Amino acid sequence: MAEDHHAHDHGSELSEMQLRVRALETILTEKGYVDPAALDQIVENVETRIGPHIGARIVARAWADPEFKRRLLEDASDAVNALASFDPVAAHLIAVENTPQTHNVVVCTLCSCYPWSVLGLPPVWYKSFPYRSRTVIDPKGVLADFGLTLPAETQIRIWDSTAETRFLVVPMRPDGTDGWSEEQLAELVTRDSMVGTGLPKSPEAAKGEARR
């Protein structure tokens, strides 16, 4: 089956798409509808300005600062914009907190809605048909595909992003991180842990990576 994940292996689609996309860009530029410099800037934005490093800093702040966490869970857009450290986030960001009782998982079954402003562009798996179809009916099976098994007593809460609200999961702070700075904590926060398909790195795992 030709699925997103394998599309870049398909040489025929690649050359066909290169030609067709270049043609459309040429037409739209020649007709004065788009500015190539603005297009370059858009690409630069998504490649360098936005990304999971933003979400990681927000989560780390929430772990380190209970008052910020309270405000984040109450109104994530306001709380993040008040930091003034990033481009303003999308208008309606909602932060949902993992606890020992509840694990949150975010999906968009209908298309690919994802909190770009704090996580960047979604990975291919998030937009893939297996993730979009199965997460709502078999979330434990999907989490197993990521190598994640939760305690049997943990409730799973799925958020289907069917409107212009966007969801950021605030994972649980790993044990053994007392007294860590926000910068250190942010190193533990993975993209998948902010979508709900992973957990933050443990301090040991992070240390091992640093040694390699």
Partner 1 sequence: MTNSIHDMGGMHGFGAVEPEPNEPVFHADWEKRVLALQRAAGATGLWTIDGGRASLENLPPAEYLASSYYRRWFLGLERRVVAHGLVGEDEIAGGRALRPGIRLNRKLTLEDAKANRYGRFDRPAPSPARFKAGDQVKTRNINPPTHTRLPRYARDKIGTVEAVRGCHVYPDSAAIGAGDNPQWLYAVVFTGRELWGEAADPSITLSIEAFEPYLTPA
Least gap, CB of 18 to partner 1 (angstroms): 5
* Active-site option among 12, 77, 85, 112: 112
**Does the footprint of partner 1 cover residue 208 (CB under 8 A)?**
no
d(CA 131, CA 16): 27
What residues contact 25, with CB distance under 8 A and at least 6 apart? 34, 36, 39
Q: How far is CA 93 from the centre of its chain?
A: 12
Catalytic, 77? Answer no
Task: Enumerate residues 26-45 that contact partner 1 by CB under 8 A.
Answer: 26-28, 30-35, 37-43, 45
d(CA 40, CA 182): 33
d(CA 153, CA 150): 8
Catalytic, 193? Answer no
Task: Enumerate residues 72-101 that contact partner 1 by CB under 8 A.
Answer: 87-92
* Active-site option among 113, 117, 161, 193: 113
Total number of residues that touch partner 1 (CB under 8 A): 90
As given in the structure block, the two tokens for residue 103 are 């694990």
**Does the footprint of partner 1 cover residue 12 (CB under 8 A)?**
no
* Active-site option among 108, 117, 161, 193: 108
Residues forming the active site: 108, 111-113
